[in-house]
Amino acid sequence: MISASGIKFIQSLRQKKYRDRHGVFVAEGAKIVRELAGSNLQVEMVCGLKGWMDQNAGMFPEETTCITISEKQLSRLSNLKTPNQVLAVIKKPDTEALKTGKQEDLVLVLDTLQDPGNLGTIIRTADWFGIRTIYCSHGTADVYNPKVIQSTMGSFIRTRIVYTELKELLGKTGMNVYGAFLEGKRLYDIQPDYPAALVIGNESGGISEDIEPYVNRKVFIPRPAAVNGANAGIGSGAAMSPGGNGPESLNAAIAAGIMMSWFRM
């Protein structure tokens, strides 16, 4: 049985200030919680309906607090419209340990991306394409926001997400840094040079002025020739399409997905 204070504590983790204070976050759903059991993340508490808890007894080590709860209690704890059997409270990974990972052939760099849904979608897409490291500016949405965690569909477990000073990062990596700008080369005309970093800008402002000087490989995502003229192209965020009646820009997560796909061809 979970106590009233336990319910209040888990509910408080919907807010970033309490996630930061306690160093934990919440993930929900049977699939995600099962994946957590086999991961390197430290699960501190599991709260689930009796049927799920009975079926999955012994899944977590003894030091994990496992509590059977009612459907009413799960509804109070859950951030979902339709709660899914179980949720877990997980310790955040050590920030400094995340920064010491090995350099990879392809990483993402998120420059002040603010929409939790976009962030979750990008993490999930990066996982699909085997991109294991995502660097985020300090102004990027919190990866431990419940909306982000749920929209990753478990991909946060397999992806190293590092919040850092982007200018410092890009200034010393020696990577080929790609970003979407209208004055860039057509994405499909380039041959990617590795190691590479793909910079994804803010949803409305695109890549910031502070970060643009570090982008040494500018590209744009072309529209099909049949759409508003053969020369139309789209950047990400605030990058505008040159004429025509179509959309002015691509959604940041969609632009990121297109670029990842080309770099993994």
At residue 229, the pLDDT reads 53
- Please give the distance of CA 151 from its chain centroid, rounded to a whole number: 9
Residues 48/85, Cβ–Cβ less than 8 Å: yes
pLDDT over 80 at 103, yes or no: no
On the question of pLDDT at 239 being above 50, the answer is no
Q: How far apart are CA 61 and CA 113, in angstroms?
A: 36
pLDDT confidence of residue 102: 67
Give the confidence band of 226 by pLDDT, cuts at 50, 70, 90: low
Q: Which domains does the chain have, with CATH numbers?
A: 4-92 (3.30.1330.30), 98-263 (3.40.1280.10)
- Please, which residues bridge with residue 206 across strands? 202
Q: What is the pLDDT of residue 243?
A: 43
Distance (Å, whole) CA 1 – CA 21: 25
Q: What is the mean pLDDT of the chain?
A: 90
Please identify which residue in the block is written with the tokens 């502070």.
210
Tell me the average pLDDT across 206-232: 82
pLDDT value of position 101: 62
* pLDDT > 60? residue 80: yes
In tens, the pLDDT along 32-68 reads 999 999 899 999 999 999 999 999 999 999 999 999 9
Least confident window among 69-78, 88-97, 156-165:
88-97
The structure tokens 């179980």 sit at 86
Strand partners, 236: 250
**What pLDDT score was predicted for residue 5?**
97
pLDDT band at 227 (very low <50, low <70, confident <90, very high): low
In this structure, are residues 43 and 37 in contact, taking their beta carbons and an 8 Å threshold? Answer: yes
pTM summary value: 0.90
State the pLDDT at residue 182. 86
